[in-house]
Chains A and B, each alone.
Chain A
């Protein structure tokens, strides 16, 4: 009786020590992981900042004013003149709609993608 309760106490003591040690290790591990999490978060934020800056840079390079300048000056592009544009009309598939309201479905050229300063266009 006495022996068995002694053995139980010893067992519990060992259990308590093991628990205590594992609390310490897990706390340590948690902190280590947290530091890593912080690092990743910081990294993510930095990436976000960089993304913002890249977005800004991209939109600065791609302002319509600049695109227009490059298209007109460097690439010698201009809007098609009136005579250069062809209408292609699709035949009306349904006879109900009146032929007078036929819509132009496509244009021969696609103007408007590269606006250019007046004087060079039409």
Chain B
């Protein structure tokens, strides 16, 4: 009897044991885990953007956001008022949010500075909590605002290079299972569910010193000429790297609450304009390359008036004859039209297209404009003529700067890069060494007395370049507002920098590229060459300017 009882008891125990261990174990295991095992988030911060010398340009740093769980909030009037004061909010509004029990989670204030966070913690209000988030800071401020772009609340790139480089910069948050003890300390790593990967740092091609002086000079020029806006691009002539790219007006990326869309646009890359005379060198180079012209070929410039398809082309400085070099030096529209009309339209198109017009620069900048270069089959002679001096074609400033790398090198079009390159990229040969050299000589004449841009001269360095002054196109008609530009490179003996300046609608009476944009070029180029320790290739008293010798170009 007793034996049977014992046996029954034993069976019962065994059965229970099997049930708990074998059948019901999932549930129990889960309950057990819930008591000590936790899954925690492992945050990954966004990579840093720095300039070519490692100076930080965009850095993420953790900040705290204050949030509340309304059903847990216990605060009296005085505490609410104090909190409102710290957060800089209206007390009534804060109260509404704090006691809105229909919600479980309300942000009170996002991204609070550290000193204020301490005060909030000091108040010790139940139900008011902190959450760590990352905020991005831009030490260079407005100087590099449009080129760097910015990130949104969640630290994802929204504009500019922040968007273009999102893949590299973004970190991947992970999660990890851990075992915690009674006091909440992590005592064991129970395996990671998803490895976190912090974002990688990116070295840009920008040089923050050059960027600063480019922005500074641009700002001065835009203000002085009461212009609508301006942009400047500085390229390394050997590698095609962008050393500086600035736009004015700008905005402060660290507090962009009242920044307008207009200020945020990167005009140098996303906006198109009719370049005007800065196109002439490409027309001439195409003609020289094709063997139609030589630098000293005489062209009949018709005493400054030339009629094509019943439309008049004017020159500011009429002459009966000019050499091809003089056409560039004095920026003659008639001469340029004549040169263009001596070419087949396909040939001119090929020359311009090979120089990078009408196609993107390969910079991968978000929203980059490719410009407009129409199909040569649709060109009428008058269009071919105007296109030769930069009307009826639209380009971005970055495209224009890049195209001048052809003349700054021995005929090679360099790809544009915003990232620092270890080895200079090889370009595409567009014109022969001889053509490139011939154009270099012509462009150097532009900045000498008798040319359109003596103000572009730089003490101690030989420079070369071309002015552009173009009527703006509005609703299909040309109006008496202008875009003044200058594109050039230096030192001529061994070019290191290509600098392109564009000033939109100078409103102070002066609007010629040679008087508005060329001085900016001169300042920026001179100082940038000093900064980069480029040896002088001319004596320091090489600048020869007599105001009377500044030649106005035709627009």
Which chain A residues have a beta carbon within 8 Å of chain B's beta carbons?
30-31, 34-35, 38, 49, 52-53, 55-56, 59-60, 62-65, 68, 82, 85, 87, 103-105, 107, 111-112, 115, 117-118, 122
Query: C-beta contact mask, B419-462 vs A, less than 8 Å → 1, else 0?
Result: 00000000000000000000000000000000000000001100
A38:B186 contact, CB within 8 angstroms: yes
Chain B residues near A103: list those with CB within 8 A.
535
Nearest A residue to B139, CB-CB: A59
A56:B535 contact, CB within 8 angstroms: no
Nearest A residue to B209, CB-CB: A64
Question: Which residue from A31, A59, A87, A115 sits with its C-beta under 8 Å from B209?
Answer: A115
> How far does the alpha carbon of A85 sit from the alpha carbon of B59 in the complex, in Å?
40
> What's the count of A-B pairs with C-beta under 8 Å?
77
B187:A34 contact, CB within 8 angstroms: yes
Chain A residues near B140: list those with CB within 8 A.
63
Asked, given contacts A87-B536, A118-B220, whether A34 binds B188 with beta carbons under 8 Å apart, the answer is yes
Nearest A residue to B51, CB-CB: A59
Asked, given contacts A60-B139, A63-B140, A112-B530, whether A35 binds B61 with beta carbons under 8 Å apart, the answer is no
> How far does the alpha carbon of A68 sit from the alpha carbon of B216 in the complex, in Å?
11
Report 25 cross-chain contacts, Cβ distance below 8 Å, ordered by A residue: A30-B188, A31-B188, A35-B186, A35-B187, A49-B62, A52-B48, A55-B59, A56-B61, A56-B139, A59-B59, A62-B55, A63-B208, A63-B212, A64-B208, A64-B213, A65-B141, A68-B212, A68-B216, A82-B459, A87-B540, A105-B535, A111-B530, A112-B530, A115-B212, A118-B217
- Smallest beta-carbon distance A112→chain B, Å: 3
B143 interface residue, CB < 8 Å from A? yes
Nearest B residue to A112, CB-CB: B530
Chain A residues near B530: list those with CB within 8 A.
111-112
Known A56-B56, A115-B212; further 18 A-B contacts with Cβ < 8 A: A34-B186, A52-B48, A52-B60, A52-B61, A60-B139, A63-B139, A63-B208, A65-B143, A68-B212, A104-B536, A105-B535, A112-B533, A115-B209, A115-B216, A115-B531, A117-B216, A118-B220, A118-B523
> How far does the alpha carbon of A34 sit from the alpha carbon of B539 in the complex, in Å?
69
- Smallest beta-carbon distance A36→chain B, Å: 10
Question: Which residue from A49, A59, A63, A85 sits with its C-beta under 8 Å from B540?
Answer: A85
Query: C-beta contact mask, B121-142 vs A, less than 8 Å → 1, else 0?
Result: 0000000000000000101110
> How far does the alpha carbon of A107 sit from the alpha carbon of B530 in the complex, in Å?
10
Question: Which residue from A31, A65, A111, A122 sits with its C-beta under 8 Å from B187?
Answer: A31
A56:B185 contact, CB within 8 angstroms: no
Query: C-beta contact mask, B505-548 vs A, less than 8 Å → 1, else 0?
Result: 00000000000000000010001001101011001110000000
